[in-house]
Structure 1
Amino acid sequence: MGVLTDYFRAADAASVVRALQDPDDRPLVGGGHPHFDGVEAKRLDPDLMLGELVAAIRQVPWEAGLVTERPVWPTTPEPGPSDPQAEDDPWATGPWVVELAASVRDTLAEVSDADVPAAVARWVQTEELRPAGVEDVQPLAEELIRLARRARGAGEKLYCWICL
């Protein structure tokens, strides 16, 4: 089972929740008339994969927690480790949306175009991307960077939609 992810920009968490509750069932990102400007980034989870891109841009080793995030969806309280979890509990089934820290947005937005190829070359050396080449992942990195620049320019935050 693979993880699907989309990254998008929004003014705030409340607008994300409203979009997820929209009875028109419009997509958050991509296709038709999406709610938000975003990037479809299959399998690019925020903690590890995006974190490794952020680490490559900052030229630091990746570590857990490098990309900090705050849950936005589901809106119900997250169950504790000892709480019983029903099969239909949205925390078990998803989708989930997290708000990324402004520092992540700013790291992506501030990388210069001239530095992108070197950052991507470092990124593809990670275990998860090692079979890929720079030419395979640079377009996605550039899309995420442009999205972060638009978000910062508009005073918006970055979010990640995650689904199994």
Structure 2
Amino acid sequence: MLTDYFRAVDAASVVRVLQGADDRPLVGGGSPHFDGVEAKRLDPDLVLGELIAAIRQVPWEAGLVEESPVWPTTPEPGPGGPQAEDDPWATGPWVVELAASVRDTLAEVSDADVPTVVARWVQTEELRPASVEDMQPLAEELIRLARRARSAGEKLYCWICL
């Protein structure tokens, strides 16, 4: 799974970029569309959820990271899942908007608290055998991104591709 986290004014601006035929990356090298962080395998519900749990000092639980779908723009499939192989809900990519509470939780972590938070985060099963040294730079990037988003009155989004 590939994931990128980025900030944008609103979901409509994200959809406009995704509908365009532009070859520019969403985040990262070149001339990206959005200010963001490349974060391979950091899915919003589980692994980012574990980081949010570590910051808030609460146990992880499903739904801790509230998110709402932005892309694809077609209606979500029903309980039976996508009915066709080429359904965008089956093939991706997908983009979700993260709740403002997630952005604010990340943004409020003080620089001095980052090592302690990351030490709690790397204890989770999903990150083993990662170390604080492995994960601290990524946590710092996500925290800085959240701070920039909050300062600009923007939201955080996650692009996901299998």
Task: Provide runs of 4+ in structure 1 moved above 4 Å.
Answer: none
Distance 1:31 1:22 in 2: 19
What is the one-letter code of the residue matched to 1:100?
A: L
Q: CA deviation at 1:130?
A: 2.2
Q: 1:128 to 1:87 in 2, by over 3 A?
A: same
Q: Percent identity between the aligned chains?
A: 90
Q: How many aligned positions are there?
A: 162
Alignment of 1:3-22 (within 5 A): 3-22=1-20
Distance 1:161 1:144 in 2: 14
Q: CA deviation at 1:25?
A: 2.3
Instruction: Structure 1: give runs of 5+ residues left out of the alignment.
Output: none
Instruction: Structure 2: give runs of 5+ residues left out of the alignment.
Output: none
Distance 2:151 2:33 in 1: 19
Q: Which of 131, 138, 141 is the aligned partner of 1:143?
A: 141
Give me the TM-score of the superposition, normalised by structure 1: 0.97
Give me the TM-score of the superposition, normalised by structure 2: 0.98
- Alpha-carbon RMSD: 0.9
Q: What is aligned with 2:42?
A: 44
Q: What is aligned with 1:31?
A: 29
Distance 2:109 2:57 in 1: 11
Q: CA deviation at 1:83?
A: 5.9
Distance 2:108 2:70 in 1: 25
Q: What is aligned with 1:128?
A: 126
Distance 2:82 2:32 in 1: 35
